[in-house]
Chain A
Amino acid sequence: MVKDLFNIIVKEVKELVRDPTLILGMIIVPLILFPLMGFAMQTSMKTAEESMRNISIAVIDLDKGSVAENLTNFLITLNVRIVEVDDSNLTEAVNYVQQSNLTGLIVIPSDFSNNITEGSKAELDVYTVFRGGGIAESTSSSAISALLETFEERLVFQKIGEKFPEDPETVLDPIKTSEKSIIKGKSVDVNPGVLFGLMMSQSIGMPIGIMMLLMFAMQLAATSVASEKEEKTLETLLTLPINRFTILAGKLTGSIIVAVMGAIAYIVGFNYYMSSFMGVIPAETGVDLAAIGFAPTPISYLLLGISLFVSLISALALAVSISIFAEDVKGAQALVGPLSMLLIFPMIFMMFTDIYALPFPLMIVLFAIPFTHPMLASKVAFTGDYLTAVIGIVYVSIFTIAVLYIAARLFGTEKILTAKLKFKWLRRRRRMPAEEP
C-alpha cells in the first residue's frame, strides 16, 4: 500500500514536472513575468518623478498686479517653466497648451492682486491637460494644485506674520502632538500609521501567495485526473490491484509536491516584484518588530502551516472531485476555473477590509468559504487571535474530510469512467469565429 502510493507519487511528479506547458507556467510567470512587472512599475514611477520635475505651465495674466507677479516668480523659483500666453483668446490658448505638451494652464483674473491685498477671496482658473490614466499622468495632474497650495500657505504665513511678528509659526500650528501606539497592552514609541503600513506591507503578500498556491495546486490536480482520461490511461490504472483511495492519495500528494515547488518560485518572483517598489518601508522606520511583539510567533507559524495544509488538501480534493466529470484536460480546467472565485473573493476582502466590519450576511458567506481561513490565519501573527485560527482549521478539516469522502466514493464507482460532461456549448462558441469567413 505504501509502496504503491510511493510508486504513484513518483510517476505523478515525473509526469507533471516533464510537462512543458506546466514548466512554462511555473518558471516563465513567476521568474520572468514578475520581475518584468516590477521593472515596468519602477520605470513608470521614475517617469512620474521626472515629469514632476519638468513641469511647464502656461499662464494668462489678465491681472498684471504685484501678487500675480509674485505667483509666477514663486513658480519659477520652484523650477517650473512658465510660458506667458496671449491673453486675448482662451480657446486658442487651450489648444496651444495641448499641442505643445504643457502640463496645464493658469488663468489669473484681472482683480486677483486687488482682492488679495484687500482681504477678500481671490479666484484662479486652473486647467490641467488630461492625457491618459497612467501613474505619470495622475501625479502631474495633481502637481499644479500642490504648487498653488504651497503659494497659498506662503500668503497665509505672510498675513499672520504681519499681525504676530514674534512667532507666526506657533499661531499657525499651536499644538504639537506626538503619536504613540499601544500594542498588546504596552505602549510603544511608534506612530500607529507607520505600524499599519508595516503590517500591510507584510500581510498583503500572504493572501496573494496563498491564493496563487491554491489555484496552482487545483489546476494541477484537475489536470492529473483529466489527463488520465484524455490519454486513455485511466482504464488500465483502475484494473490494477491498487486501492482506489491510494490512487487518489497519490494524485493529491504529487500535486502538492509540484504545487509547493511552484509556490516557492512564485514567492521568489513575487518578493522581487514587491521589493522593487515598496521593500524599503521596514528598513527606514527602524522598528524591531519582534521586540514589540509584532512579528509571527512560533505558534502562529505553526497554526498558519496547519491551516495552509488542510486548505491545500481541501482545494485539491475539490478539484479532483469536479474534474472526475470532465472528459479531457480542457474540460477539467473549465470546470475548476469557477472555483478560483472562491479564492479571489476572500483574498480581495482580506486585502482591503476588516472582515469583522462587514455586514453580517457577507461575513457568514466569507467564513463559509474554506479558503478564507488560511488567509485569516496569516493575520493571526498580528492579532494574536489564536482561537479564530484553530476554529478555522477545525472547520476546513471537516470540510476537507467531507470532500475527500465524496472524491473517494466517485473514484470507487464506475462514474469515473462513464461520467462525461461534454462542453458542447463551450466548443461551439469557440468554433464560431472561425466559421464566419
Chain B
Amino acid sequence: MNLAIEAESVVKIFGSIHALDGLSFYVKPREIFGLIGPNGAGKTTALRIVSTLLKPTSGSVKVLGRDVVNQASEIRGLISYLPEEAGAYKNLSGYEYLEFMAKFTIEDKQLIRETVEAAAKISGLEERLKDKVKTYSKGMKRRLLVARALMTKPKLAVLDEPTSGLDVLHSVHVRGIIKQYVEKEGVTVLLSSHNMLEVEHLCDKVALINKGKMVAEGSPAELKKEANASNLEEVFAKVVGFG
C-alpha cells in the first residue's frame, strides 16, 4: 500500500537552530496522524515541510508519492494546509473568502457553490458569513479557516493545532467534522495539538517529538500501555519530563 506521507530522516536548520534533527514518520491513507510535543519541538516546522512551504535541509519527504522539493506544485493541488497562526482577508466577507479559496481548486460554478455551502455548515457561522472577516472573534476566524481547509475534500489535510482558540462545543464540533471527512470523503489528516484529550479521541496514530527528534510513536492505546500510564498527558510527562 502506498503511504500518504513518508518523511525520512528530515533535518531542518534555521541558522544555528536544529528545528528538526533526523525526524522520520509514515502516515497511511485515511489515517489521522497526530504530532505532539512541547513548544519548539518542531511540530510546525514538520507540517510546513510537508505542505511544501519550507524545504528540508536534508532528508526526504514524499507526500502522496511526490517529492516535496521537486514536485511541490503537484502536491499543492492535492493538499490543504491550515497554519498554526492564520488569518483571513479582513476586508472580505466570510463568504467571499471561502469562494476566493474554492475557485483555485474547483472549476465548476455549481460545485463551487456547493463547496462554499459545505464550508458554511462546517464553520457554523451561518448569517455571520455575510459580515466582513475583521468583525469576527478569534474563534470564529479559526472556524472559518478550518472550514476552508476541509471544504475542498483534499487528499491530505495538514492541520496545525486545528482547535486552538475554540470553545469546548466548537472543538467537539470540529473534531466530529474531521472524523466525518476522513470516514466519508477519504481524507488523510496530519495534525498537531497540545490537547491530549483531543489527540486521544481523534488520532489513529501519534508521534511524540522533542527537540526535533521522535521520542515515542504508536496508537494512543499503545503509547499508554508502553509508558504504563492512564492517559496521554501522563505519557507526555513521563517521556518528555522537564529539562
Contacts and interface: CB of A to CB of B under 8 A. Distances in A.
Q: Which of B14, B82, B87, B145 is most buried by chain A, counting CB atoms within 10 A of its CB?
A: B87
Contacts of B14: 418
Interface string A324-360: 0000000000000000000000000000000000000
Interface stretch (B22-30, B50-58, B170-178, B223-231): B50-58
A63 B48 CA distance: 96
Nearest to B91: A18
B104 interface: yes
A232 B90 CA distance: 11
A417 interface: yes
B103 A233 contact: no
B53 A417 contact: yes
Contacts of B132: 18
B65 interface: no
Contacts of B148: 236
Contacts of B88: 231, 233
A94 interface: no
Contacts of A238: 53
Interface string A406-417: 000000001001
Contact of A242 (B52, B82, B104): B104
Contact of A233 (B51, B73, B80, B86): B86
Contact of B92 (A11, A232, A414): A11
A4 interface: yes
A243 B100 contact: no
A15 interface: yes
Interface residues of A, number: 22
B77 interface: yes
A241 interface: yes
Interface string A215-248: 0000000000000000111011011111100000
B103 A3 contact: yes
B104 A7 contact: yes
Contacts of A184: none
B5 to A, nearest CB: 15
Interface string B40-63: 000000001001111100000000
Contacts of A414: 53-55
A14 interface: yes
Q: Which of B52, B77, B96, B104 is most buried by chain A, counting CB atoms within 10 A of its CB?
A: B104
Given A243-B73, A418-B14, A235 B104 contact: no
B53 A235 contact: yes
A19 interface: yes
Contacts of B4: none
A293 B190 CA distance: 72
Given A11-B92, A414-B54, A236 B103 contact: no
B101 interface: yes
Given A241-B104, A418-B14, A235 B54 contact: no
A121 B96 CA distance: 86
A232 B91 contact: no
Contacts of A240: 76, 101, 104-105
Contacts of B107: 3
Contacts of B86: 232-233, 235-236
A236 B104 CA distance: 12
A420 B104 CA distance: 28
A344 to B, nearest CB: 31
Contact of B89 (A4, A231, A241, A418): A231
A3 B80 CA distance: 20
B77 A241 contact: yes
B127 interface: no
A241 B76 contact: yes
A239 B91 contact: no
B190 to A, nearest CB: 13
B87 A232 contact: yes
B79 interface: yes
A235 B48 CA distance: 9
B35 to A, nearest CB: 17
Contacts of A3: 103, 107
Interface in B97-148: 100-101, 103-105, 107, 132, 145, 148
Interface in B159-185: none
A26 to B, nearest CB: 15
B83 interface: yes
Given A15-B91, A232-B85, A241-B77, A7 B53 contact: no
Interface of A: 3-4, 7, 11, 14-15, 18-19, 231-233, 235-236, 238-243, 414, 417-418
Interface of B: 14, 48, 51-55, 73, 76-77, 79-83, 85-92, 96, 100-101, 103-105, 107, 132, 145, 148
30 contacts: A4-B103, A4-B104, A7-B103, A14-B92, A15-B89, A15-B91, A18-B91, A18-B132, A19-B91, A231-B88, A231-B89, A232-B85, A232-B86, A233-B87, A233-B88, A233-B89, A235-B48, A235-B81, A235-B83, A236-B82, A236-B83, A236-B148, A239-B51, A239-B52, A240-B76, A240-B104, A240-B105, A241-B73, A414-B55, A417-B53
